[in-house]
Amino acid sequence: MKLLKSTLAGSLVFASLTASAMAAEDTIKVGVLHSLSGTMAISETTLKDTMLMLIDQQNAKGGLLGKQLEAVVVDPASDWPLFAEKARELLTVHEVDVIFGNWTSVSRKSVLPVIEELNGLLFYPVQYEGEESSKNVFYTGAAPNQQAIPATDYFLDELGVEKFALLGTDYVYPRTTNNILESYLKGKGIADSDIFVNYTPFGHSDWSKIVADVVALGADGKKVGVISTINGDANIGFYKELAAAGISADDIPVVAFSVGEEELAGLDTSNLVGHLAAWNYFQSADAEVNASFVETWKATMGEERVTNDPMEAHYIGFNMWVNAATAAGSTDVDAVRSAMYGQEFPNLTGGTAVMLPNHHLAKPVLIGEIQEDGQFDIISQTAEVPGDAWTDFLPESAVLKSDWKDLGCGMYNTETKTCVQTLSNY
């Protein structure tokens, strides 16, 4: 009898494990790698919510390849080394088919070696500094030529800015972006002495001296503008100090690359009216597809919730991945990658996003002016601009080209006709 019970118990355990394994095989796992705590939670939590909504919508349509999608959410907690650990966990423990995640470039750089080692697939939805091209990453946010350069041109051509304060959080994205902008500005005839560069840590809160230094930059009467690559909750203190110093957008305009509707939702915007942001999407975009997206988002998450640019990047990237997997008949990374090239999907501003062989999108560039309600009045919008992985404004990068479709190379030297395939170069 004891033997019978033991055998029966063992059979039940085996059956349970087998059922669990079969259930796992019946789903396609989607990794969601966004900070839900720490300094970047202010921006990234919404992207996690976006992915859950998109996955639910796809499942309601019947899933993908005859299976339901299963979200696997982890919290790297704004800890850059932890991003790498969580990416490895997603790929080796949970065996996800794709990862949507990261915000800061330092977190992406942390994840990159893991993704490449394990041949994972990452969709990265945030504007970044460029100067990188991996066959395992699709960059659905803006490259510098789709945000930083057009915003600088707007300051020069439309606002007559003569002196530039480049203020950023101290990590790779602001530093590389500002290196590009310094080179670009000098090429436009702006003197070294008319460019002020400053970096602060994540979570920085005391902005009094920095704002005073910016004000002092215009002591000679020249027009000063701030280009902000400040990230995370440090923006709250920066804008509060501007207001406390009595600085309006007419006095010293600020154009931000990491402040959107989500960040403004936590601020008193009454003193920020007129300051600017450059993105590829704003909630206020006048397009039928956007109205439908915003309505669905608010109905799902609450009327007070807002949409923003990185959400649109996830929306485009996710739908392109679904379509590529459908075309390939598989979620295999290599098969999906091949099917991604040339993928088109309607963006939320009324145009069409196209995935290029360099793993970047063609996207419009929008400049918005902050309104009292925390939304943006779109004052400038271009046609779709192809994303450039390697900037034209740094000599060592101007000769490089990324083409994973035909050249199979992310770092092709157009002068030597050779491909550099060293991981450290990414």
Distance set, CA 418 to CA 133, 205, 391, 393 (Å): 15, 47, 18, 21
CB 139 within 8 A of CB 124: yes
Residue from 95, 124, 96 nearest 109 by CA: 124
Beta pairing partners, 225: 164
Question: What is the residue-wise DSSP string for 283-338?
Answer: TT---HHHHHHHHHHHHHH-TT----HHHHHHHHHHHHHHHHHHHHTS--HHHHHH
What is the DSSP secondary-structure string of 254-290? EEESS--HHHHTTS-GGGTTT-EEEES--TT---HHH
The gap between the terminal CA atoms of the chain, to the nearest Å, is 64
Other Cβ atoms closer than 10 A to 371? 15
The Cα–Cα gap between 136 and 308 comes to 25
**The pLDDT value given to residue 318:** 98
**pLDDT tens, position by position, 289-325:** 999 999 999 999 999 999 999 999 999 999 999 999 9
Closest C-alpha among 229, 294, 264 to residue 368: 264
User: How far apart are the C-alpha atoms of 69 and 56, rounded to whole Å?
Assistant: 8
Torsion of CA 88, 91, 96, 98, to 10 degrees: 80
Coil vs helix vs strand at 179: helix
Per residue in 58-107, pLDDT tens?
999 999 999 999 999 999 999 999 999 999 999 999 999 999 999 999 99
300 φ/ψ angles, rounded to the nearest 5 degrees:
-80, -45
Residue type, position 354, single letter: V
Q: How far apart are CA 28 and CA 143, in angstroms?
A: 30
pTM over 0.95: no
Q: How far apart are CA 212 and CA 106, in angstroms?
A: 29
Helix (H, G, I), strand (E, B) or coil at 166: strand
Tell me the average pLDDT of the chain: 92
Greatest C-alpha distance within the chain: 97
Written as tens digits, the pLDDT of the chain (426 aa) is 444 444 444 444 443 433 444 445 789 999 999 999 998 998 899 999 999 999 999 999 999 999 999 999 999 999 999 999 999 999 999 999 999 999 999 999 999 999 999 999 999 999 999 999 999 999 999 999 999 999 999 999 999 999 999 999 999 999 999 999 999 999 999 999 999 999 999 999 999 999 999 999 999 999 999 999 998 888 888 988 988 999 999 999 999 998 899 888 867 788 789 999 999 999 999 999 999 999 999 999 999 999 999 999 999 999 999 999 999 999 999 999 999 999 999 999 999 999 999 999 999 999 999 999 999 999 999 999 999 999 999 999 999 999 999 999 999 999 999 998 654 333
DSSP assignments along 187-239, one per residue: HTT--GGGEEEEEE-TT----HHHHHHHHHHTTTS--EEEEEE--TTHHHHHH
For residue 197, the cross-strand partners are 166
pLDDT score, position 7:
44
All domains of the chain, ordered by start, with CATH?
25-142+286-363 (3.40.50.2300), 146-279 (3.40.50.2300), 395-425 (no CATH)
* pLDDT for the residue numbered 385: 96
Q: What is the pLDDT of residue 422?
A: 53
The token pair at 189 is 């005839």
Residue 422 CB contacts under 8 Å (≥ 6 apart), including other chains: none
